[in-house]
Amino acid sequence: MVIRNINLETVCGITSILPDNDKPEIAFAGKSNVGKSSLINALMNRKSYARISATPGKTQTINFYNINEEMYLVDLPGYGYAKVSEKEKAQWGKLIERYLHGSRQLRAIFLLIDIRHEPSANDKMMYRWIVDQGFKPVIIATKLDKLKRSQVQKHVKMVREGLELEKDSVVIPFSSATKQGRDEIWEFVETECLERTEVD
């Protein structure tokens, strides 16, 4: 994917009306410190378009990035580590649920998991919840550069088993530092989401 232009077109909070877009949407979910903003910046070939915060849980909105007037990358609120009230967390959950049920253009959901650790209880809950909404999330195993090359397959297996993935589930190891995995993510988006949309 050659990125020609990017526009942060819509930012939706808890009380916002979600946009009725006419282009394919690709959504990204993950816990608060998993590297979601870094991934989105890497995909967009920008250093700091999506804000990276030292404070987990700063993404409290759904952000719609218009890419080349062809599609949207959709950044969902992070979960897990944010120091916010249970009421706020519940409202974020409802916002995400409203989006998943309300979007007519959502083509895929990528769920980010830290490759270094077994999936947390929150990760497992989010995975099951996305599946229960009728989607089959693609797993992006982040922070790949923190592992030795010899450890990667063992940790990918740990992620697969921890989430109880089906055999054909896609897991893409990714590093925002080296950009390894970036091309594979775009390839999946272009072949499984954009080309399929054109055929449909």
Per-residue model confidence as pLDDT tens digits over 179-193: 999 999 999 999 988
- In this structure, the number of other CB atoms found within 10 A of the CB of residue 116 comes to 15
* 200 within some domain: no
Euclidean distance between CA atoms 110 and 3, whole angstroms = 20
In the chain, what is the straight-line distance between the N-terminal and C-terminal CA atoms, in Å?
21
Which pTM does this prediction carry? Answer: 0.91
Q: Is 80:32 a contact under the CB 8 Å cutoff?
A: yes
* 2 within some domain: no
- Indicate the range of 101-105, 116-120, 132-136, 193-197 predicted with least confidence: 193-197
Where does 16-120 have alpha helices with state H?
A: 36-44, 86-102
User: Stretch 6-33: mean pLDDT, rounded?
Assistant: 92
Look at residue 13 in the predicted model and tell me its pLDDT.
Answer: 87
pLDDT band for position 52 (50/70/90)? low
* pLDDT tens-digit readout, 63-80: 999 999 999 999 998 887
* 1 within some domain: no
Residue 20 structure tokens: 């009725």
Q: Is 191:3 a contact under the CB 8 Å cutoff?
A: no
* CATH classification of the domain holding 189: 3.40.50.300
Range of the domain at 151: 7-14+22-194
In sequence order, which residues have a C-beta less than 8 Å from that of residue 64 and are 6 or more positions away? Answer: 8, 9, 10, 11, 12, 19, 21, 25, 72, 73, 74
pLDDT tops 80 at residue 34: yes
Number of separate domains in the chain = 1
Angle CA(103)–CA(106)–CA(111) in degrees, nearest 5?
A: 115
pLDDT tops 70 at residue 58: no
Look at residue 176 in the predicted model and tell me its pLDDT.
Answer: 94
pLDDT band for position 14 (50/70/90)? confident
User: Stretch 164-169: mean pLDDT, rounded?
Assistant: 94
* 106 within some domain: yes
* 35 within some domain: yes
* 189 within some domain: yes
Average pLDDT of the chain?
89
Task: Find, among 26, 29, 6, the residue nearest to 197 by Cα.
Answer: 26
Look at residue 51 in the predicted model and tell me its pLDDT.
Answer: 62
User: Stretch 7-33: mean pLDDT, rounded?
Assistant: 92
Look at residue 44 in the predicted model and tell me its pLDDT.
Answer: 92
Look at residue 197 in the predicted model and tell me its pLDDT.
Answer: 57
Look at residue 59 in the predicted model and tell me its pLDDT.
Answer: 57
More confident residue, 133 or 158: 158
Residue 187 φ/ψ, nearest 5 degrees: -60, -45
* 199 within some domain: no
Residue 123 structure tokens: 């990760």
* 177 within some domain: yes
